[in-house]
Amino acid sequence: MTLFHGDCREELAWLNADVLVTDPPYGVAFSEKRTKRQKVGAIIGDDSTDTRDMAVGLWREQQGGVNKPALLFGHYRIPRPVDTRHVLIWSKGDNTGLGDTSLPWGVSYEEIYVMGRGFKGSREPNIITCPTIPSSHWLRQRHPAPKPVPLIERLLSKCPPEWVVADPFAGSGATVIAARNLGRRVVAVELEERYCELIVERIQNTPVGLFDEFEE
């Protein structure tokens, strides 16, 4: 595992990996709404897709074309990345989520964009059901949008085990921990020092094989 504290436009080691698995800023200022309630800082770059598109552009340019594999989280309100081949749906179950609160339906899913080629494994539906991290969980007080580690592990199960995983927006560390749990090599970059510290803290406190995403 390698974790860099810095800007992924400058710390470029992640570009040498084999698959991009990341949760970039969505471009809908999602975190700004949540942070007022959760009292954590907003995610930098969450007001547009510029940061996401920059990273995708670097990945495509460095890896020599559109076939390099990538899995990126996103939101139905924003345009999908160029060269998206398929869309997975992360179903959060009974969690109604945010969305337009004037409507009697919540938003209980997120999109995951599949890019490139080389994914392996048995064929499954494109809807992946995995509970989100409860709002009462301590992690939600440290990061506005942490992803469940079991969800990332399911995504990585479709990647050949020899692939090195890249995450240029490490955030709360879900990709780093999932890769560590599965014995995968991972190169991650995180801009904010507080989140780097959070990732290190989580790794130190959760031995391999004993991680429980919902442990209080």
User: Looking at residue 23, what is its pLDDT?
Assistant: 95
Overall number of domains in the chain? 1
- Residue 216 falls inside a structural domain: no
* Domain assignment present for 21: yes
Residue 17 domain flag: yes
What band does 32 get if pLDDT is binned at 50, 70 and 90?
A: very low
Does 211 score more than 80 pLDDT?
no
CATH of the domain at 131: 3.40.50.150
- What are 5-23's pLDDT values in tens digits? 999 999 999 999 999 999 9
Q: Is residue 91 part of a domain?
A: yes
179: tokens are: 């890769």
Can you give the pLDDT at residue 89?
97
Burial status of residue 121 (CB atoms within 10 A of its CB: 0-12, 13-18, 19 or more): exposed
Q: What is the CA radius of gyration of the chain?
A: 16
Average pLDDT over residues 115-120: 95
DSSP codes joined into one string, 64-127: TSTTS-EEEEE-TTSPPPTTEEEEEEEE-TT---SS-TTSS----EEEEEEESS---S----SE
Q: Identify the pLDDT of residue 67.
A: 80
Separation of alpha carbons 175 and 188, rounded Å: 8
Over residues 188-212, the mean pLDDT reads: 83
Q: Please tell me the predicted confidence (pLDDT) of residue 216.
A: 30
Mapped onto helix, strand or coil, the DSSP state of residue 21 is: strand
- Residue 187 DSSP SS3: strand
Query: Domain range for residue 45?
Result: 2-205
Query: Does 48 map to a domain?
Result: yes
140 within a domain of the structure (yes/no): yes
Does 213 reside within a domain?
no
**pLDDT tens, residue by residue, 135-183:** 889 998 899 889 999 999 999 999 999 999 999 999 999 999 999 999 9
- Residue 130: the pLDDT is 95
Q: Residue 66 falls within a domain, yes or no?
A: yes
Q: Is the pLDDT of residue 124 over 70?
A: yes
